[in-house]
Amino acid sequence: MSDEVVIKTNKLTKRFGDFVAVDAITFDVHKGEIFGFLGANGAGKTTAMRMLCGLSIPTSGEAKVAGFDVFSQPEEIKKNIGYMSQKFSLYEDLTVLENIEFYGGIYGLSNKEIKDKSGELTEKLGLKHEAKQLVKSLPLGWKQKLSFLVAIVHQPKIVFLDEPTGGVDPYMRREFWDLIYDAADKGITIFVTTHYLDEAEYCNRVTIMVDGKVDALDSPKGLREKFGVATIDEVFYKLAREAKRSAD
Amino acid sequence: MSAITLDHITKTYNKGAVLAVDDVSFSVEKGEIFGMIGPDGAGKSTIFRLLTTLLLPDKGTANIGGYDVVKDFKAIRGILGYMPGKFSLYQDLTVEENLEFFATVFDTTIEQNYELIKDIYVQLEPFKDRRAGKLSGGMKQKLALCCALIHKPEILFLDEPTTGVDVVSRKEFWDMLKRYKKQGITILVSTSYMDEATLCDRIGLILGGKMLSIASPEDTIKAYPQKLYALKSSSMYRLLTDLRGFEGTANCYTFGEYLHLYIKCSEEELKKFIGDKGYSDLELKVITPTVEDCFIRLLKERDERRSSDQNK
């Protein structure tokens, strides 16, 4: 992890009518950092993430992602990041290889790069035998691992992961995190949300969003000490219990 | 009499090419919360679909509340509530319309069984005119549970009901299940959260379509065959890499702020290995396994069997 800042937000806000979904959040994320973005359902995590990905224009405030402005340069942001949405986003009716080729093409990789990548990714996933199978025939954990590797197929500076391990079993979740560690080690910044609080411990820093605001931001150890509790679960309980907004 | 009984149930897909459920037998007692734990593709959802009369078994028989799943499917549909893994309510109907629809289909009214769903429905009421498709994950899950309960079923089938739900809402959800259990409702539930597994009366570990073990969470943990260590240092990634490279390691994996480890060498050899690596702030202790540790051990063994089969 370096001192280089790759995400910088200042009072970033999103309103939908009277409703303040994201309320003046301010934080920095560093290059190569694994940044955990926690919060209850409806706290505003997905909305915040969509603004940082250039998919939703903020109402007010400032944010720069990979050096580009979220208001004026959303297209540049999209080229420099990877995004794995909560909803499974590969093409179920294409094979493993076809999905890699498709996304490689979208991100402007050359044919040779795509060919090399296809070999590398199927090898890394242990999916060599399944390379020509339709993605819909794979178990969920494999799909999620493939989605992640496809989201970083163009070597982005940052990858945004919105609940990548939801519904994935504990064994496969750890294999997924091995891929995250590997990517972070290569300098890709990881911005990740999760409801599995053991995974919060695997992040360099964690923030817990409550009612659209960023409340606590520290290393997992720092948070535990600050709140005087033994686990991140308890930190989460303390903060989320005070939430006024219901998870609508 | 048991509420749910499976007797040598087998189910294949693609004309026998895929064996989804392999000769599974077990039973669930009335008023019990029975958890099915297993990796993706283990066959859990197929078992749900067989028991809810949506699929026909290839072989074997199953009974729900004394009714046969093949012959008496109509009677069974009246006494069970089912929350599928995928959100399956009408996205274009409002919260209230969905609930009314399900009540009407089961020949009842919201008022008649309001008592049963009251605790959940009060949280949904502010949004009762919102379309179901526009609800957040947590609210969709609450609505799906209401719709599964509106005809006062004897047996509830919940296929990963809390996936994507935050820890506070998950706790509320399980408090609710405990209350339904007290009213005599039998619950068969699957989950990928291992903390929820410990809240079940009994859990069945399922793998490759086979039921491997059935026991209470306490007995599942007692059956863990060897010492489990927890380790911590200020440089966790280095520690993990070191231990995974150690030939005495049987398995080492992350577990919240600790690493968990079991070994195929002696404790002395382990201590010597770590000692030689020169960690200044290492913590090493023997711990009681959790259900999650039992589960990981099982899957690790499967993967080792698989790779040794491939090398043959």
pLDDT profile of chain B (312 residues), mean per 10: 95 92 97 94 94 97 97 96 92 96 95 91 92 87 94 96 87 92 96 93 94 95 96 90 96 94 96 93 95 93 81 66
B38 touches chain A (CB under 8 A): yes
Please compute Rg for chain B using Cα positions. Answer: 23
Domain residue extents for chain B: 4-215, 225-288
B203 CB-side CA count, 13 A: 26
CATH match of A5-89+158-241 with 3.40.50.300: yes
CB contact under 8 A, B256 and A198: yes
Residues B293 and B224 sit within 8 Å (Cβ to Cβ):
yes
Q: Express each pLDDT in B169-218 by its tens digit.
A: 888 899 999 999 999 999 999 998 999 999 999 999 999 999 999 999 99
Q: Distance from A124 to chain B by nearest Cα, in Å?
A: 16
CB contact under 8 A, B40 and A196: no
The residue assigned the tokens 């150890």 is: A221
Q: Distance from B134 to chain A by nearest Cα, in Å?
A: 9
ipTM above 0.85, yes or no: no
Q: Regarding the domain delimited by B4-215, which CATH topology (the fold level of the hierarchy) does it fall under? A: Rossmann fold (3.40.50)
This prediction's pTM: 0.88
Cα B297 to Cα A94: distance, rounded to the nearest angstrom: 34
B256 touches chain A (CB under 8 A): yes
Sign of CA dihedral B141, A207, B296, B213: negative
Mutate to test the interface with A, among B190, B192, B251 (most CBs of A within 10 A): B192
In the CATH scheme, what architecture does the domain B225-288 have?
A: 2-Layer Sandwich (3.30)
Cα A76 to Cα A81: distance, rounded to the nearest angstrom: 9
Q: Which residues of B touch A247 (CB under 8 A)?
A: 136, 138-139, 166, 169
